[in-house]
């Protein structure tokens, strides 16, 4: 264990976490550290003059979320260098494990800003942006839509307007990822002690932006891309990376899980991103209204009088059906033989 390194504040410590410490904990036998990386059975930690690798097993592990994720704050016994507990999280990105939909994977905790990245070209897709916004709402992280490749678009303002129309007060930035000065505009979302994550389809320019924010181009995408030829980012680690250059002091979560993120349960996020439709459904006469043929349906009425766009309703239905599917059936995969599936958060 080395002494020195970043302070707790440098690592993102704030009153939300400090307020959780008991008087005994404040007296100092245990100390808070941030989880910088997660390995099998081990975590890399930093903070309070401690840094290095320790065992990740927690004494009181009850549910699937009682495991350390990248970005977590752990209370660690100074003497034994063992985690004692996980502090309550501001938020937690988690997903169903791709190999086994009944298992929950923890991706990252305590993320301040989520850059939702899309480019000013064919990748731009309102339904996809809404889907990402649902995730951000569900997880409880501040979304910033970043439109890349402005330099390639003939009328980038068109994309800006379309994105802004999705949600009042939505923050939208346009960048040319290849121009450091342009990427520098994002620095205000990722200053000292702030943790950011990026979400977006392959090829929209996430790695390019990350390199801009890290002030280096050492994110290992290019060589790997040449080897597998798939244009995939093949980092396997779950890790917090320090930002440099314009975003110095900030932290970045970049894991494959983050990039291919799917929510296990998104009902709340859907209700919030589509709050106009949510309000309408509450005005329907019947609680179990299907909004298809009912005479007293407020949703259908809004369609008729033109206050609700049919395509928006379609997108809402699709997300809601998908969510119902995934929470009830463990995804679209066929049910495995035998055992009944538990509803969710099955670890």
Ligand X SMILES: Nc1nc2c(ncn2[C@@H]2O[C@H](COP(=O)(O)OP(=O)(O)OP(=O)(O)O)[C@@H](O)[C@H]2O)c(=O)[nH]1
What residues are designated binding site for GTP? 148-151, 200-208
Of 106, 6, 56, 36, nearest to 253 (Cα)?
Answer: 36
237 near ligand X, rule: CB under 6 A: no
x-or-dash pattern for ligand X, window 149-188, by CB under 6 A?
Answer: x-xx-----------------------xxx----------
Angle at 209 (CA atoms; ends 206, 210), nearest 5 degrees = 85
User: Which listed option, Zn ion, ligand X, none, makes contact with residue 151 (CB within 5 to 8 Å by class)?
Assistant: ligand X
Length of the chain: 347
**What is the number of other CB atoms lying within 10 angstroms of the CB of residue 92?**
18
By beta-carbon proximity to Zn ion, the closer residue of 81 and 303 is 303
Distance CA 277, CA 291 (A): 11
313 near Zn ion, rule: CB under 5 A: no
Which pairing describes strands 251-253 and 195-199: parallel, antiparallel, or unpaired?
Answer: parallel
DSSP state of 345: -
By beta-carbon proximity to Zn ion, the closer residue of 90 and 289 is 289
233 near ligand X, rule: CB under 6 A: yes
Q: Considering the complex, what minimum distance in angstroms separates the CB of residue 203 from ligand X?
A: 5
192 near ligand X, rule: CB under 6 A: no
89 near Zn ion, rule: CB under 5 A: no
Span interacting with ligand X, options 130-138, 226-234, 289-297, 328-336, rule CB under 6 A? 226-234
> How many binding residues for Zn ion (CB under 5 A)?
5
95 strand-pairing partners = 105
Of 44, 127, 132, nearest to 93 (Cα)?
Answer: 132
34 near Zn ion, rule: CB under 5 A: no
Report the number of secondary-structure helices (H) and strands (E) in the chain. 12, 13
144 strand-pairing partners = 115, 171
User: Which listed option, ligand X, Zn ion, none, makes contact with residue 176 (CB within 5 to 8 Å by class)?
Assistant: ligand X
Indicate the annotated binding residues for Zn(2+): 284, 289, 291, 297
89 near ligand X, rule: CB under 6 A: no
By beta-carbon proximity to Zn ion, the closer residue of 106 and 298 is 298
302 near ligand X, rule: CB under 6 A: no
Distance CA 344, CA 347 (A): 9
Backbone phi, psi, residue 101, to 5°? -60, -15
By beta-carbon proximity to ligand X, the closer residue of 56 and 207 is 207
DSSP element (H, E) containing 50:
strand 50-55
User: Which listed option, ligand X, Zn ion, none, makes contact with residue 206 (CB within 5 to 8 Å by class)?
Assistant: ligand X
User: Which listed option, ligand X, Zn ion, none, makes contact with residue 291 (CB within 5 to 8 Å by class)?
Assistant: Zn ion
Residue 13's contacts (CB-CB under 8 Å, 6 or more residues apart) are 7, 32, 34, 47, 73, 193
214 near ligand X, rule: CB under 6 A: no
DSSP state of 331: S
x-or-dash pattern for ligand X, window 248-277, by CB under 6 A?
Answer: -----------x------------------
Which residues are at the interface with ligand X (CB under 6 A)?
A: 148-149, 151-152, 176-178, 200, 202-208, 221, 231-233, 259
């Amino acid at each position: 264990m080395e002494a020195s390194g970043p302070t707790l504040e440098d690592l993102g410590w704030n009153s939300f976490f400090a307020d959780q410490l008991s008087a005994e904990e404040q007296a100092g036998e245990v100390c808070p550290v941030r989880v910088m990386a997660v390995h099998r059975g081990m975590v890399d930690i930093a903070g309070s003059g401690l840094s290095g690798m320790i065992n990740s097993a927690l004494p009181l592990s009850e549910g699937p979320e009682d495991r350390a994720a990248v970005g977590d704050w752990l209370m660690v016994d100074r003497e034994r260098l063992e985690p004692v507990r996980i502090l309550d999280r501001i938020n937690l990105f988690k997903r169903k494990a791709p190999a086994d939909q009944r298992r929950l994977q923890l991706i990252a905790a305590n993320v301040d800003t989520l850059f939702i990245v899309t480019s000013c070209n064919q990748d731009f897709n309102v339904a996809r942006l809404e889907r990402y916004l649902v995730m951000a709402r569900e997880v409880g992280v501040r979304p910033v839509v970043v439109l890349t490749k402005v330099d390639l678009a003939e009328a980038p303002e068109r994309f800006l307007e379309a994105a802004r129309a999705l949600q009042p007060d939505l923050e939208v930035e346009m960048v040319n990822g290849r121009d450091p000065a342009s990427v520098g505009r994002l620095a205000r979302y990722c200053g000292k002690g702030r943790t950011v994550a990026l979400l977006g389809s392959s090829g929209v320019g996430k790695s390019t932006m990350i390199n801009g924010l890290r002030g280096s181009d050492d994110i290992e995408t290019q060589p790997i891309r040449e080897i597998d030829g798939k244009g995939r980012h093949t980092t396997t680690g779950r890790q917090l990376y320090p930002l440099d250059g314009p975003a110095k002091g900030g932290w970045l979560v970049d894991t494959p899980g983050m990039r291919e993120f799917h929510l296990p349960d998104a009902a709340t996020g859907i209700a919030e991103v589509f709050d106009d439709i949510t309000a309408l459904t509450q005005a329907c006469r019947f609680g179990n209204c299907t909004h298809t043929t009912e005479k007293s349906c407020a949703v259908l009425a809004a369609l008729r009088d033109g206050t609700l766009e049919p395509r928006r309703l379609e997108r809402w239905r699709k997300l809601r059906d998908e969510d119902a599917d995934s929470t009830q059936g463990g995804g679209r995969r066929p049910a495995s033989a035998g055992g009944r599936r538990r509803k969710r958060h099955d670890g």
